[in-house]
RNA sequence: GGCAGAUUACCCGAGUGGCCAAAGGGGGCUGACUGUAAAUCAGCUGGCAUCGCCUUCACUGGUUCGAAUCCAGUAUCUGCCA
C-alpha cells in the first residue's frame, strides 16, 4: 500500500511541456512577480521573505491531499506557483498527503467522510503523477516528491503527543478559522480533524529537518495550517521559516470558480475532457480573464497588458479568452490534444452545416466530446438525452425539450416525443446532440 | 452516564394530523437579448407509462380512515450537567 516516493518521482520525469516556461525578468525578483500576478494573499514577514527568495536557492514545499482521484484547478494554482518558484532557482518538494488525507483537513461546513486506506493509497499514486508533471526533475534544482505517510506512519501515538503535541496549545488551535467555524456550527468537529493542523505542522518540521525547507505555500484557506508549521519550527528549532497563502480564486459574478455543469474541472482527462476544460476557459467572463491569465499562465506582463487592452477595445473578439483557453489546456493536456479541441469547437459551434462535414472530419472534431453508443431501437430524443447524460432523467429530458433547449444536429427539437429516423443520421450512424448553447454529446448508432 | 434540543429535497430553511412532492431564499438548468461573456427579464428545478401514478421529510416499528407532523426504539449531532 505504501507508495515509494523515490520510484514515483522517477517514473514521472518531467515532460517537454515544461520547456519554454520562464518567469518575467522585467520584475525585480520572483516575489514581485508573484505579487503582480495576484498570488500572494497572506504571508509571514514580507520583507524578510522577499529577501530569502531573492538570495541563494532555498527549499520549499506545497502539499496535496488525496481527497479525490485527481487534482483540480484550485490545485493548479499551487502547482504553477511551485513551478514559478522553481524557475526562480529554488528547490521544490512536492508533498502528497498519504497521512493527512486519512485524517481530513477540516472544512468550514462539515466533517469529511472517510475513505478506505486502500482508496487513499491509490489516489496518492495518481496525485504524485499529476504533481510531478508540473515540476522539473532535472538540473540543479530538481524537484523531489515526498509522502508524509513515510514519517507519520512509523510514529507511535505516545511519541506524537510528547514530541509534537506538547508544543501545541489548544487555545491557539481552536482559534484557527476552520476549527472555529466548525466549533460554532451545529456540526461540531471530530478530534481527528481537529488534529489535522498538528499533522501539517509536523510535516513542515520534518521537511525542515530533512531538507532544510524554509517555505511552505498553499491556498489562503490553509493559512492556519501553514502557520502551525512555522510556529512549531520556531518553538522546536528556534528558526524563523516562512509561508504564504495564495488567494481563493473567485468569479466576479460571485459564483464559484472552477466549476462547470456543477462539476469541478479536474486535471485528469478521464474526469474532465480536454474539450470541457477548453470550453471552461473560453467561457471566462471579461471581468475575470486578465486575472486568470496572470494566475494560470506564464505569459509576461507586456503580453497580458496587451490582452487587457484587447478586452477593452474588442470584447466580442474574446482574444484574451482564446489565449487563456489554449494556454492552460495545453499546459494540462498538451498542445496536440488542445489543437484537436479547438478544431472541434470550430466545427461544432460554427455555422457550418454538419451534413457537409466528411466523416473523418466529423469524427476528429467530435473526438473530445462525450460519445455514447446506442442501439438503433433507442432513438427517441428523450432517450438520447438521458443516454448521453445531457439530462439526468427522462423527466429532466422532457423539461429540456419543453424549454426549447434540445437540439439534434443543430436543429431545435420541439416535440418531446420526436424519434430520430435514418435520414437524420450523419454518415449513417452519428448524431450531434446538444442541450442549451454549449453542452454537446455525440451519439453513435449501433448498426 | 444524566437532562434538554436537533435531524426536511443540491444548500439554507418553513411546515406540529388531511388542502404536502412539501412555502421562501440560494444555487442550478433552459429561453430571450448578446460575443459560446456579463447584466437583465421569463420559465423550470424528486421519479415515471405526465391531466394520473410512484417514492421521499435521519432509521426501524407503531397509533390512525389518513403522518414530514403523534408514540416507542435506534443512530448521528449540539448544548448543559456529571
Quick: pLDDT tens for A45-104. 999 999 999 999 999 999 999 988 999 999 999 999 999 999 999 999 999 999 999 988
Q: What is the mean pLDDT of chain A?
A: 89
Quick: pLDDT tens for A306-320. 999 999 999 999 999
**DSSP codes of every residue in A339-372:** HHHHHHHHHHHSSS-GGGS-HHHHHHHTTTS-EE
Q: Which residues pair with residue A259 across a beta bridge?
A: A264
A316-CA/B44-C1' distance, Å: 30
Residue whose C-alpha is closest to residue A412's, from A423, A422, A399, A403: A403
A76-CA/B34-C1' distance, Å: 32
Closest protein residue to B77 (Cα–C1'): A187
A113-CA/B24-C1' distance, Å: 31
A43-CA/B16-C1' distance, Å: 52
Q: Closest nucleotide to residue A350 (Cα to C1')? A: B36
Quick: pLDDT tens for A192-244. 888 999 999 999 999 999 999 999 999 998 999 999 999 999 999 999 999 99
Residue whose C-alpha is closest to residue A409's, from A425, A387, A398, A429: A425
Q: Which residues pair with residue A147 across a beta bridge?
A: A96
Q: What is the DSSP letter of A16?
A: G
pLDDT of A187 reads 72
Q: Which long-range contacts (CB under 8 A, 24 or more apart) does A303-312 make?
A: A311/A286
Extract the residue ranges of chain A whose pLDDT is less than 50: 1-16
Let me know: does A433 contact A420? Beta carbons within 8 Å.
no
Closest protein residue to B6 (Cα–C1'): A186
pLDDT of A16 reads 47
Closest protein residue to B50 (Cα–C1'): A395
A382-CA/B62-C1' distance, Å: 43
Chain centroid, CA A278 distance in Å: 14
Residue A446, SS3?
coil
A331-CA/B17-C1' distance, Å: 62
Contact residues for strand B with beta carbon within 7 Å: A 183, 186-190, 252-256, 261-262, 279, 282-287, 315-316, 318, 321, 345-346, 349, 386, 392-396, 398-400, 403-405, 435-439
What are the C-alpha distances in Å from A418 to residues A119, A345, A371, A384, A421?
Answer: 44, 27, 21, 11, 9
> Which backbone phi and psi does A175 adopt, to 5 degrees?
-90, -15
Q: Closest nucleotide to residue A184 (Cα to C1')? A: B78
Closest protein residue to B46 (Cα–C1'): A395
What are the C-alpha distances in Å from A385 to residues A259, A371, A396?
Answer: 22, 12, 9
Nucleotides in B strand less than 7 A from protein CB? 5-6, 27-32, 34-39, 43-50, 77-79
Closest protein residue to B78 (Cα–C1'): A186
pLDDT of A92 reads 98
A256-CA/B26-C1' distance, Å: 13
Q: What is the DSSP letter of A419?
A: B
A110-CA/B17-C1' distance, Å: 34
Amino acid at each position: 500500500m505504501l507508495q515509494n516516493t523515490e520510484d514515483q518521482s522517477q517514473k514521472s520525469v518531467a515532460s517537454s511541456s515544461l520547456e519554454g516556461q520562464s518567469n518575467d525578468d522585467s520584475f525585480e525578483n520572483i516575489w514581485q512577480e508573484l505579487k503582480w500576478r495576484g498570488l500572494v494573499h497572506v504571508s509571514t514577514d514580507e520583507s524578510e521573505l522577499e529577501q530569502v527568495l531573492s538570495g541563494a536557492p532555498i527549499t520549499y514545499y506545497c502539499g496535496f491531499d488525496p481527497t479525490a482521484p485527481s487534482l483540480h484547478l484550485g490545485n493548479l494554482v499551487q502547482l504553477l506557483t511551485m513551478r514559478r518558484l522553481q524557475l526562480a532557482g529554488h528547490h521544490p518538494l512536492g508533498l502528497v498527503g498519504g497521512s493527512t488525507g486519512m485524517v481530513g483537513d477540516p472544512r468550514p461546513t462539515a466533517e469529511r467522510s472517510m475513505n478506505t486506506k486502500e482508496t487513499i493509497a491509490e489516489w496518492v499514486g495518481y496525485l504524485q503523477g499529476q504533481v510531478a508533471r508540473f515540476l522539473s526533475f532535472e538540473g540543479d534544482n530538481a524537484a523531489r516528491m515526498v509522502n508524509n505517510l513515510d514519517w507519520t506512519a512509523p510514529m507511535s501515538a505516545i511519541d506524537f503527543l510528547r514530541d509534537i503535541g506538547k508544543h501545541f496549545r489548544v487555545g491557539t488551535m481552536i482559534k484557527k478559522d476552520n476549527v472555529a467555524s466548525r466549533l460554532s456550527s451545529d456540526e461540531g468537529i471530530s478530534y481527528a480533524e481537529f488534529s489535522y493542523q498538528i499533522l501539517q505542522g509536523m510535516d513542515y518540521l520534518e521537511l525542515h529537518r530533512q531538507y532544510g525547507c524554509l517555505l511552505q505555500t498553499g491556498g489562503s484557506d490553509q493559512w492556519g495550517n501553514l502557520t502551525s508549521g512555522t510556529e512549531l519550527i520556531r518553538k522546536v528549532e528556534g528558526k524563523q521559516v516562512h509561508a504564504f497563502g495564495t488567494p481563493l480564486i473567485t468569479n466576479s459574478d460571485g459564483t464559484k470558480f472552477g466549476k462547470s455543469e456543477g462539476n469541478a474541472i479536474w486535471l485528469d482527462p478521464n474526469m474532465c475532457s480536454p474539450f470541457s476544460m477548453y470550453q471552461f476557459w473560453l467561457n471566462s467572463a471579461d471581468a475575470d480573464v486578465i486575472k486568470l491569465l496572470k494566475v494560470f499562465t506564464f505569459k509576461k506582463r507586456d503580453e497580458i497588458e496587451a490582452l487587457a487592452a484587447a478586452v477593452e477595445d474588442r470584447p466580442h473578439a474574446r482574444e484574451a479568452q482564446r489565449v487563456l483557453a489554449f494556454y492552460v489546456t495545453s499546459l494540462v493536456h498538451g498542445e496536440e490534444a488542445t489543437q484537436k479541441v479547438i478544431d472541434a469547437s470550430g466545427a461544432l459551434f460554427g455555422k457550418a452545416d454538419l451534413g457537409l462535414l466528411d466523416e473523418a472530419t466529423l469524427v476528429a472534431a467530435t473526438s473530445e466530446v462525450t460519445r455514447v453508443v446506442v442501439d438503433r431501437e433507442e432513438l427517441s430524443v428523450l432517450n438520447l438525452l438521458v443516454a448521453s447524460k445531457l439530462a439526468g432523467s427522462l423527466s429532466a429530458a422532457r423539461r429540456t425539450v419543453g424549454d426549447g433547449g434540445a437540439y439534434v444536429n443543430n436543429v431545435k427539437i420541439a416535440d418531446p416525443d420526436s424519434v430520430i429516423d435514418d435520414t437524420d443520421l450523419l454518415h449513417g450512424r452519428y448524431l450531434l446532440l446538444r442541450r442549451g448553447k454549449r453542452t454537446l454529446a455525440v451519439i453513435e448508432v449501433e448498426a
